[in-house]
Structure 1
Amino acid sequence: MGETEAFLAIKNQERAETSNGFLKQAKAAGKTYWLIFIYMILFMSGMNFMSHGSQDLFPTFLSTQLEFSKDRSTVTNSVANFGALAGGIIIGHLSQFVGRRLCIMVCCIIGGALIYPWAFIHNNGINASVFFLQFCVQGAWGVVPVYISELSPPNFRTLIVGTAYQLGNLASSASSTIETTIGEQFPLYDSHGMQIVGKFNYGKVMAIFMGCVFGYELLVTFIGPERRDDGSSDEKVAEDAAAQEMKLGLEKEQSMFREDLEHQSEDAAHKA
């Protein structure tokens, strides 16, 4: 596959602007875009907490608390992943028409409403709840790539998007540890009221955790900006870079024309 038009256009622009190195441009971008960079880190932290908080401990919840067999647990997790695939495709596509932030916020609201059946239904109905909860979680994720790309300055999109994502992932890496630690405060009891050793109410823990995460991400997305189709497409970047390259070319031609005039004037003066 070939490179994108935006990448090629930016490379042409960099070759034309030989006086501006990467470090100089990065420093200028840092002064200008530091606030949006911080916002993207906060946003991506919430998104990563959303996915890891709903997925990492869930297989343990099925096997230890609900005592699902390996086959039954596999079926439930597969249904959850089908929901994730459907959500990412459908919501990601809808965001092109109804807005990035609106789609993410709607997913947070509906996902929050599905927490109870997802965490507390213990029969086969859990398959429906995990499908639709992961539909919302990964539906929001389906918007993320284009959303954060649109927020980033074109010349530093790869650097800013990649760094913001990985820092958000770093922040959420303790999701399962947090949930298991909190889970120790909610032990399970048998029918005689005796505590079951090594078993905890992970369903309640995940419900509390995901409620907080959905609320956090809803708030962060609500206060954040949106730049849908606002100069972030490959075509727009290519057009801007081409215009800049043309401007530099005209300036170069004008400079050469002035030099020619000066040389002609000097020759005329010398002959005179």
Structure 2
Amino acid sequence: MAPYFMRNLIPKRTQRAQGRPLLTVLASLTWVQWAQFFSGWLCWTCDAIDFFSVSLSVTHLEAQFSKPTSSITTAITLTLLFRSLGAVIFGILSDRFGRKWPLVGNMILVGCFSLGTSFVNTYSQFLAVRSLFGVAMGGVWGLAAATALENLPVEVRGLASGIVQQGYAVGYLIAAVVNLFLVPETSHGWRAMFWTSSGIIFFSAIVRASLPESAYFIRAKEAEKLHGEHKSTGEKTRVFLRETKEMLKTHWLLCIYAVLLMSGFNFLSHGSQDLYPTYLQTSKNFSAHNATVATIIGNLGAITGGAIAGFLSQYLGRRLTIVCFVLLIGAFIPLWILPSSFSALSAGAFCIQFGVQGAWGVIPIQLAEMSPPAFRATFPGVAYQLGNMVSAASAQIEATGGNNLRTTIIKNGVPTDVPDYATVQGIFIGVVAAFVIIITIVGPENHGSHFEAHKTAFEEGAGHDEARAEGETGESVRSSRPDSLRVEEEKHDSAV
């Protein structure tokens, strides 16, 4: 008989039947739920705008600081390395104090460091600011995903996960458009990228500050008042630390698995994106304009793949959907690296990013559902950023590989020796895709989890997965819906 993890790859029918039709659930959402979802998506989009402003400006930064590609990509590596620290700091603040103000403060810091990048004049200053940016950037994903998903009904979380995660691709797309149309038109060049980025980031902080706290934390505070419990901040913090210790003692193996999973996913993402514009310009002799257009086409594929995969995961299961989309990556690697024409390579970019970001589109909800429920900002955020730390050298690995694996192209009518980034990236992504498939198949899945019914991290017993909030039974999401909809759901469940 096949191992359990293989037999359980497709969720049971009862897990997939999720109550009401998708359109019915979407129609029932309040403006606050829509706004909080948009806020989480926007914050994650802003995160990507700034990060990819560096990737798109590598050639400009080489000229600015008189450094080779491998030195400029050191900034990308440092940003990724320091993100783990930010994930720990802001994740703990969010699980302890709430989603709203930690995320607002986080985005303000991200905006400040983005603005600071535009004013650096030396290579050392550039590395220092990008390292600090990495700390601030590290907190965004976990807080943004929790804000966007935990306020939504279970039935739409798969689709929402795909859309939220593709805020990353939208951010890349926005940065590419700015690089294509604004940068060439201003005398300040690459610095205009970061001015634009910081303005959008500060706007996202204003949006989140204008919205209420997550219903998850509002419920916990109301329950506290109802029972007459008035713990001091110090008492709540002691409870939080005790429950965190209990969670780590229980879930240490899950923590290791999550880091391995996210290491594979981050190698997949950064290996296919960070050096891509440089690859097109150096190995394929594209102009900066055409390389940027190809990047935009690739990100259109990413947005499409993420939304489709998130939707499918609600029915096929999280892990099976990931496996299917990663298999697509392997199938399209030849189209991504072998052609030389703009149209064929752009098609390859679209297809590869359709697979890469399609698989990624399932990750926010997969991590949220597998996480210890009370720690849905800290656990996914830290796992994600530790995976980023492990994969931090992706661009440098590829740049170093290109320095050692060479090819010859005709440039301005003259045979020219250049790095063979096509072969390097093809091998790199192929190996990583195989690893991601294996680690995904052997891992857990908690499809359709009602994690919003759990206690918050500062409540007694929150470190245990079975610890439900007062009066919650796992169908707690219904308690926040109109009576008519709850009656409709109860009738549906009786019929099933």
Measure, in 2, the Cα distance between the counterparts of 1:13 and 1:30. Answer: 26
Of residues 128, 153, 156 in structure 1, which corresponds to 2:375?
Answer: 156
For residue 6 of structure 1, report the CA deviation from its aligned partner: 2.6
Query: Which residue of structure 1 lines up, in the alignment, with residue 217 of structure 2?
Result: 7
2-side partners of 1:177 and 1:74: how far apart?
21
Matched length: 240
CA drift of 1:120 comes to 1.0
Secondary structure of residue in 2 paired with 1:188: strand
Q: Residues 330 and 430 of structure 2 are in contact (CA less than 8 Å); yes or no, is this contact kept in structure 1?
A: yes
The CA deviation at 1:187 is 1.0
Give me the whole-angstrom Cα distance separating, in 2, the residues matched to 1:131 and 1:189.
26
Matched, 1:119 2:337: yes
Matched, 1:131 2:350: yes
Q: Which residue of 2 aligns with 1:214?
A: 433
2 CA distance for matches of 1:145 and 1:17? Answer: 34
The letter for the 2-side match of 1:225 is P
Q: CA deviation at 1:5?
A: 3.0
Q: Distance in 2 between matches of 1:187 and 1:165?
A: 34
Query: Which of the numbers 241, 252, 274 marks the counterpart of 1:56?
Result: 274
- Quote how far apart the aligned CAs of 1:10 are: 4.2
Which amino acid in 1 is paired with 2:376?
R
Report the CA distance shift for 1:188/1:23 in structure 2 as closer, same or farther (over 3 A).
same
Match for residue 239 of structure 2? 21
Q: Where do 5+ consecutive residues of structure 2 fail to align?
A: 1-210, 456-466, 473-496
Shift of 1:161: 1.1
Q: Aligned match of 2:301 in 83, 89, 100? A: 83
Offset, 1:190 = 5.6
- Residues 1:107 and 2:335 are matched in the alignment: no
Whole-angstrom distance in 2 between the partners of 1:134 and 1:13? 45
In structure 1, distance between residues paired with 2:360 and 2:230:
37
Matches within 5 A, 1:118-197: 118-123=336-341, 124-189=343-408, 196-197=416-417
- Inter-CA distance 48–93: structure 2 relative to 1 (3 Å threshold): same
What's the offset of the Cα at 1:222? Answer: 0.6
Structure 2 equivalent of residue 70 of structure 1: 288
Residue 444 of structure 2 aligns with an amino acid whose one-letter code is: P
In the TM superposition, what whole-angstrom CA distance separates every residue of 1:65-109 from its partner, at most 9, and x where no partner exists? 111112211211110011111111111121111111011111111
- Cα separation, partners in 2 of 1:215 and 1:122, compared to 1, 3 Å: same
Q: Percent identity?
A: 40
Check the 8 A contact 2:283/2:409 in 1, yes or no: no
Name the CA distance, whole Å, in 1 between partners of 2:416 and 2:408.
5
State the secondary structure of the residue aligned to 2:216.
helix
User: Greater CA radius of gyration, 1 or 2?
Assistant: 1
**1:249-260 mapped onto 2 (5 Å cutoff):** none
Which structure ranks higher in relative contact order (CA pairs < 8 Å, sequence separation ≥ 6)? 1
Q: Distance in 1 between matches of 2:445 and 2:230?
A: 30
CA distance in 2, matches of 1:138, 1:14: 41
- The answer (yes or no) to whether the contact 1:187–1:196 under 8 Å persists in 2 is no
Corresponding residue number in structure 1 for 2:471: 243
Rounded Cα–Cα distance in structure 1 between residues aligned with 2:395 and 2:434 = 19
Q: What secondary structure, in the 3-state scheme, does the structure 2 residue paired with 1:240 have?
A: coil
Paired position in structure 1 for 2:95: none
Q: TM-score, normalised by structure 1?
A: 0.81
- Measured at CA, do residues 190 and 95 of structure 1 come closer, stay the same or move farther in structure 2, by a change above 3 Å? closer
Classify 1:11/1:26 alpha carbon distance in 2 versus 1 (closer, same or farther; 3 Å): farther
Q: Is the 8 A contact 1:91 1:103 kept in 2?
A: yes
Alpha-carbon distance, 1:14 to partner: 7.1
Question: 3-state DSSP class of the match of 1:229?
Answer: coil
Task: Name the amino acid aligned to 2:469.
Answer: A
CA contact (8 A) 1:9 1:242 kept: no
2:310 aligned counterpart, secondary structure: helix
Inter-partner Cα distance in structure 2 for 1:237 and 1:152: 12
Once the two structures are TM-superposed, the CA of residue 33 in structure 1 deviates from its matched residue by 1.1
Using the TM superposition, give the Cα deviation of residue 137 of structure 1 relative to its aligned residue in structure 2, in angstroms: 0.5
Asked if 2 retains the 8 angstrom alpha-carbon contact of 1:50 and 1:214, the reply is yes
The Cα of 1:156 is off from its aligned counterpart by: 1.4
Taking the aligned partners of 1:65 and 1:175, their CA distance within structure 2 comes to 18
TM-score, normalised via structure 2 length: 0.46
Matched, 1:230 2:449: yes
**TM-aligned CA deviation for residue 201 of structure 1:** 0.8
Say whether the 8 Å CA contact 1:188–1:195 is kept in structure 2: no
- In 2, Cα distance between the equivalents of 1:104 and 1:10? 34
2:420 corresponds in structure 1 to 201
Residues 222-269 of structure 1: CA deviation (Å, up to 9, x unaligned) = 10010011332x2x337930227xxxxxxxxxxxxxxxxxxxxxxxxx
Q: Is the CA contact (8 Å cut-off) linking 1:10 and 1:155 kept in structure 2?
A: no
Distance, in Å, in 2 between the alignment partners of 1:190 and 1:137 is 28
2:270 matches 1:47: no
Alpha-carbon separation, structure 2, partners of 1:182 and 1:241: 52
